[in-house]
């Protein structure tokens, strides 16, 4: 991270960043010297969001950075600066728009993010000095979780198979004293996770399917169960994807990455919950023992599934993990998955689809997501569409009989594995940014983590 928290009252020598916004520039500019105002006018700086200008001192150094931001609590307020400013140390100026320390730490860290594991980084980002405090610490904690989530999604499938994903869970859990266990390969059949095994059985031996389980916290606290779809690569199976559809399938474990990022925040912020994280980790591969269209499998819950399409594998691995989570009757179950292209057709890449039976909670989360600038959008669990996943061969089909309402029918499939009384949130997300903006480079993305951790803090506050 290129943010340094300083415990002393006086920050070390550094260049001040004077923040302003389009609406406050007229008033803020009066705090500058006449020469500084004249320079800003000459270069056309007027506080436009994500713009900045440098003001020189008498010796030719940088006396001041003028930076345009959207608002004091914008999570991307400073994201345009770390890789654009000259190398050096910077601090927030006392004058101008006062940024929230959490937003400052978060936005600077996100702006400095580069996935450079496979190539030399061109240059290091500039460093921001912030006074230490709980808000700045929280901003860094959120940034750490988000950047780690991005790293997992960005890592090529060759280096992010089911075993690698399990190791990532162990690395995240170890500093917090969490317990992690795995059920691997044919042991899934012995311990009644047949659906997970069916999807992952065609992969090579060193990429065997598994169920990863992390537990943390006081068992006397409310139980929070998180489930993340961990399809480490999705070829589509025997219903193979075309080349264009397969190109980004390293990100099909984006639900697992986001669930792990959320779990990391729950532990870092010490929420009073008994946390369970479940990741069914598989590779949907093609070989002689791959599961087939028309096959019927019994699930952990006892329901049978007819495989209508092997490329609708995510809901198949999730149903066993979600049924297992529900056996302990958690206070809240959240599953996160890169589940359907239909959700992207409906809402695009930036709006994850939220499904919940609780209409008031759905509205609350949509509003909270807009407030956090980490949006999601409530979609209906429209029960009449259950008819689209019925089949005479089994209790349910894993693919709809119509291409319409694909995100809804996928959610309704999962709905059958969650008891009616269970509080449940289903997030169908993209986990990817395909349009580069400050703090949001093209690549893997953490989606809904900030909204969900805010909601969980609210739900489980003392």
Active site residues: 241, 315
Cα 107 to Cα 115: distance, rounded to the nearest angstrom: 17
- What are residue 230's DSSP bridge partners? 281
- The answer to whether 53 and 19 have CB atoms below 8 angstroms apart is no
Please, how many CA atoms are within 13 Å of residue 205, restricted to the half-sphere of its CB?
0
Please, how many CA atoms are within 13 Å of residue 218, restricted to the half-sphere of its CB?
7
Cα 180 to Cα 348: distance, rounded to the nearest angstrom: 35
Cα 439 to Cα 95: distance, rounded to the nearest angstrom: 24
Q: What are the structure tokens assigned to 448, written together?
A: 């809904």
E strand or H helix at 15: strand 15-20
- CA distances 83 to 46, 80, 116, 233, 438, Å, are 21, 7, 14, 32, 10
User: What is the rounded radius of gyration, in angstroms, for the C-alpha atoms of the chain?
Assistant: 24
- The DSSP secondary-structure symbol of 54 reads E
Q: What are the structure tokens assigned to 251, written together?
A: 């990100």
- Positive or negative, the CA dihedral 154, 159, 162, 168 is negative
Task: Return the SS3 of 159.
Answer: helix
Give CA angle at 71 (98, 94), nearest 5°.
15
- CA distances 240 to 146, 316, 410, Å, are 31, 17, 19
E strand or H helix at 226: strand 223-228
Judge residue 197's burial from the number of C-beta atoms within 10 Å of its C-beta, 0-12 exposed, 13-18 middle, 19 or more buried. Answer: buried
Burial 280-312 (b: 16+ CB within 10 A, else e): bbbbbbeeeebbeeeeebebbbebebbbbebbb
């Amino acid at each position: 991270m290129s943010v340094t928290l300083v415990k002393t009252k006086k920050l070390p020598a550094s260049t001040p960043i004077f923040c302003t916004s389009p609406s406050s520039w007229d008033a803020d500019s009066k705090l500058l010297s006449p020469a500084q105002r004249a320079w800003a006018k000459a270069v056309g700086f007027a506080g436009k969001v994500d713009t900045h200008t440098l003001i020189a001192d008498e010796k030719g150094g940088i006396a001041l950075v003028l930076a345009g931001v959207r608002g004091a609590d914008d999570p991307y307020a400073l994201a345009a600066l770390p890789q654009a400013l000259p190398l050096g140390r910077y601090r927030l100026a006392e004058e101008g728009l006062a940024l929230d320390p959490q937003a400052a730490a978060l936005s600077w860290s996100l702006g400095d993010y580069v996935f450079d594991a496979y190539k030399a980084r061109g240059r290091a980002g500039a460093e921001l000095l912030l006074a230490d405090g709980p808000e700045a610490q929280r901003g860094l904690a959120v940034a750490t979780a988000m950047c780690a989530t991005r790293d997992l999604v960005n890592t090529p499938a060759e280096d992010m198979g089911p075993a690698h994903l399990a190791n990532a869970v162990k690395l995240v859990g170890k500093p917090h004293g969490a317990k992690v266990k795995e059920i691997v390969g044919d042991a899934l059949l012995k311990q009644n996770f047949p659906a997970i095994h069916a999807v992952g059985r065609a992969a090579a031996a060193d990429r065997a399917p598994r169920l990863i389980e992390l537990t943390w916290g006081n068992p006397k606290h409310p139980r929070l169960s998180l489930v993340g779809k961990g399809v480490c690569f999705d070829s589509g199976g025997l219903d193979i994807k075309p080349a264009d559809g397969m190109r980004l399938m390293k990100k099909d474990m984006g639900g697992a990455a986001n669930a792990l990022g959320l779990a990391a925040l729950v532990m870092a912020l010490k929420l009073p919950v008994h946390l369970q994280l479940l990741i069914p980790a598989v590779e949907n591969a093609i070989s002689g023992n791959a599961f087939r269209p028309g096959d019927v499998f019994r699930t952990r819950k006892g329901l049978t599934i007819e495989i209508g399409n092997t490329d609708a594998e995510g809901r198949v691995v999730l149903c066993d993990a979600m049924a297992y989570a529900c056996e302990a009757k958690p206070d809240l179950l959240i599953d996160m998955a890169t589940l359907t292209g239909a959700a992207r057709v409906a809402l695009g890449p930036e709006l994850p689809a939220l499904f919940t039976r609780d209409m008031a909670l759905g509205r609350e989360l949509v509003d909270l997501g807009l407030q956090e600038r980490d949006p999601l959008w409530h979609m209906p669990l429209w029960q009449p569409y259950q008819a689209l996943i019925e089949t005479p061969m089994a209790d349910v089909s894993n693919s709809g009989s119509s291409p319409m309402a694909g995100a809804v029918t996928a959610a309704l499939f999962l709905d059958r594995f969650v008891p009616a009384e269970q509080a449940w949130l289903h997030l169908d997300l993209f986990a990817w940014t395909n349009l580069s903006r400050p703090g949001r480079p093209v690549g893997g993305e953490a989606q809904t983590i900030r909204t969900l951790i805010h909601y969980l803090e609210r739900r489980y506050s003392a």
